[in-house]
Structure formats: C-alpha cells, structure tokens
Amino acid sequence: MVASAGSMLREHGVAGTSFAKVLEHSGGPRGSIGFHFPGGKAELVTDALRWASGRVTDALARAREDGTPPVEVFAGICAFYAAELTKTDFRAGCPVGAVAQEAYDDEALGAVVGEIVETWVDGLARLLAEHGRTREAAEELATTCVASLEGAILLARVRRSRQPIDAVLAAVGPLLD
C-alpha cells in the first residue's frame, strides 16, 4: 500500500491519493488500513514519502561510498526522472515535489517534506564537499540542484517534454565538475 500511495502521489498529489484508490491500486484488503495506518491518511502519505524519497537518499549515500563524481550522480537522478516521466506519458513526477506544492502549509506533511528536502540537499552537499567544495559552496550548489530539478520536473509535466530536465542538467552539470 505504501508503494501504491507513492506512485499515486507522483501522479495525483495528496488530494487524489485516497485510501480507496490506494486499495484499488495495491489490491490490499480494506480491513488492513486501520491496522497499518492508525494515523489515517497523513500516516500513509508520510510513509509513502519516506519510501519514495529513500531512493534518492540511498543513491546519494551509495555515491559517497563509491566515490562517484557529483556530476554523474546528478545526471543519474535527472535520467531517472526523465525516464519515469516519459514512461508514464508525463503523469508521474516527484512525489515529494507534488506534496510540497499541495500541502506545504500542512503542519505534519510540510515538516516531512522539509526534512526530506534537507536530507537530499545535505547528501548532495556532503558528496560535493568530499569532491573538494567548501561546505558553504557545497550546500549552495546542492540547493540549486534540488530546486532546479524539482522545477524542471514540474515544467516537464506541463510541457509534456523531458527538455526542461535536459536543460537543467546542461546548465547545472558543468558546475558539478
């Protein structure tokens, strides 16, 4: 159900991700909702956000362990989102970005989104620092990367083209070398 909710958030946001739709998508039994998500929809959305965002967080951690250059990491993340958007006919963006736009003022969900974004910025900043940037410069560039890519995902959905993601990679990529 968490994976289904994550997929639905990417396409429909918080408002379009109901328990009924998640159950239909996942094939889960109706009676399991109260057991697994006693905190209601907010708990389901929180769990889905943490699950989905873990893919980026894990990729950043692996890159630091492997010594992967920052430009390759960012290019890989851009390629992932471009492929997902293309594969879903530009319906499925970033679930974190979708929730951020829709529920930024929700106390619980806004805090979760803020934590996730800071984790991404910190992970990329640490990678950049390990490749010679000062901590301050690394944090600024990491913020630019996350903000640029999230904006590019939004534009890619609106334009129904991967071009905005390609443009961000072309503009930001050289700064990461």
CATH topology of domain 49-176: Tetracycline Repressor; domain 2 (1.10.357)
How far is CA 101 from each of CA 144, 154, 166, rounded to the nearest angstrom? 18, 10, 22
Residues 18 and 68: their CA atoms lie apart, in Å, by: 39
What pLDDT sits at residue 177? 87
Report the pLDDT averaged over residues 170-175. 98
How far is CA 34 from each of CA 37, 99, 122, 134, rounded to the nearest angstrom? 5, 23, 35, 48
Q: Parse the chain into domains and list their residue ranges.
A: 49-176
How does residue 19 score in pLDDT terms, banded at 50, 70 and 90?
confident
Entry pTM: 0.90
Taking only the tens place, the pLDDT of each residue in 97-150 is: 999 999 889 999 999 999 999 999 999 999 999 999 999 999 999 999 999 999
What pLDDT sits at residue 103? 86
Find all residues with CB under 8 Å of 160, minimum gap 6, and list them: 89, 90
Taking only the tens place, the pLDDT of each residue in 33-84 is: 878 888 889 999 999 999 999 989 998 999 999 999 999 999 999 999 999 9
